[in-house]
Structure 1
Amino acid sequence: MRIFISTGEVSGDLQGSLLITALKRQAVVIGLELEIVALGGEKMVEAGAILLGNTSSIGSMGILEGLPYILPTLQVQRQAIASLKQNPPDLVVLIDYMSPNIGIGTYMKRQLPDVPVVYYIAPQEWAWSLSLRRTNRIVGFTDKLLAIFPQEARYFREQGAKVSWVGHPLVDRMQDAPSREAARATLGIAPEEIAIALLPASRRQELKYLLPIIFQAAQTIQAKLPEVRFWIPLSLEVYRQPIEEAIERYGLRATVVSGQQKEVFAAADLAISKSGTVNLELALLNVPQVVVYRLSALTAWIARKMLKGSISFASPPNLVVMKPIVPEFLQEEATAENIIQAAMELLLNPSRREQTLADYEEMRQSLGEIGVCDRAAQEILQMLPQSL
Structure 2
Amino acid sequence: MKLFVIAGEASGDKLGGALMEGLAKLAPGIEWQGIGGPEMAAQGLDSRIAMEELSVMGLMEVVPKYRHLKRRIAETAQAVVEMRPDALITIDSPDFCLRVARLAREQHPDLKVVHYVAPSVWAWRPGRAAKMAQVVDHVLAVLPFEPPYMQAAGMSCDFVGHPVVAEQRASAAEAAAFRETHMIGPDQPLALCLPGSRAGEVKRLGKRFDEALMQLRDREPGLRVVLPTVRGVAPMVREMSARWPIAPIVVEQPADKRAAFAAANVALAASGTVSLELAANRVPMVIAYDASFLTWHLIWNLMMKVDTVTLVNLVSDTRAIPEFLGPDCKPRAISRKLLQVLEQDDARAEQFAAMELTMERLGEGGDPPGLRAARSVLEFLQKT
TM-score w.r.t. the length of structure 2 is 0.85
Q: Distance in 2 between matches of 1:109 and 1:47?
A: 27
Number of residue pairs matched by the alignment: 370
Query: Aligned AA for 2:160?
Result: V
| CA pair 70-233 structure 1, distance change in 2 beyond 3 A | farther
1:139 matched to which residue of 2? Answer: 133
2:146 matched to which residue of 1? Answer: 152
2:32 matched to which residue of 1? Answer: 35
1:213 equivalent in alignment to 2:208: yes
* Correspondence for 1:16 among 5, 13, 24: 13
1:198 equivalent in alignment to 2:213: no
Deviation per residue, 1:310-354 (Å, 9 max, x gap): 331112112223432211111111111222111111111111111
2:369 matched to which residue of 1? Answer: 372
Q: Distance in 2 between matches of 1:47 and 1:263?
A: 28
What SS does the aligned partner of 1:94 have? strand
* Correspondence for 2:176 among 166, 181, 184: 184
Query: Aligned AA for 1:254?
Result: P
Following TM superposition, by how much is the alpha carbon of 1:122 offset from its aligned partner in structure 2, in angstroms? 1.1
1:338 equivalent in alignment to 2:338: no
2:80–2:104: 8 Å Cα contact kept in structure 1?
no
1:231 equivalent in alignment to 2:226: yes
1:62 matched to which residue of 2? Answer: none
Following TM superposition, by how much is the alpha carbon of 1:33 offset from its aligned partner in structure 2, in angstroms? 4.3
Q: Distance in 2 between matches of 1:211 and 1:148?
A: 29
| CA pair 148-87 structure 1, distance change in 2 beyond 3 A | closer
| CA pair 77-212 structure 1, distance change in 2 beyond 3 A | farther
Deviation per residue, 1:198-241 (Å, 9 max, x gap): 11121221122122211222222234323222122222x13122
Q: Distance in 1 between matches of 2:336 and 2:43?
A: 42
Unaligned runs of 5+ in 1: 60-65
1:83 equivalent in alignment to 2:83: no
Query: Aligned AA for 1:358?
Result: A
Query: Aligned AA for 1:224?
Result: R
2:141–2:147: 8 Å Cα contact kept in structure 1?
yes
2:3–2:89: 8 Å Cα contact kept in structure 1?
no
TM-score w.r.t. the length of structure 1 is 0.85
Query: Aligned AA for 1:238?
Result: G
1:268 equivalent in alignment to 2:269: no
Unaligned runs of 5+ in 2: none
Q: Distance in 2 between matches of 1:223 and 1:58?
A: 43
What SS does the aligned partner of 1:52 have? coil
| CA pair 331-259 structure 1, distance change in 2 beyond 3 A | same
What SS does the aligned partner of 1:26 have? helix
* Correspondence for 2:279 among 273, 280, 283: 283
1:241 equivalent in alignment to 2:235: yes
2:316–2:355: 8 Å Cα contact kept in structure 1?
no
Following TM superposition, by how much is the alpha carbon of 1:153 offset from its aligned partner in structure 2, in angstroms? 0.7
1:63 matched to which residue of 2? Answer: none
Following TM superposition, by how much is the alpha carbon of 1:183 offset from its aligned partner in structure 2, in angstroms? 2.0
2:208–2:331: 8 Å Cα contact kept in structure 1?
yes
1:196–1:269: 8 Å Cα contact kept in structure 2?
yes
2:6 matched to which residue of 1? Answer: 5
What SS does the aligned partner of 1:276 have? coil
1:229–1:254: 8 Å Cα contact kept in structure 2?
yes
Percent identity for Structure 1 against Structure 2: 25
1:97 equivalent in alignment to 2:89: no
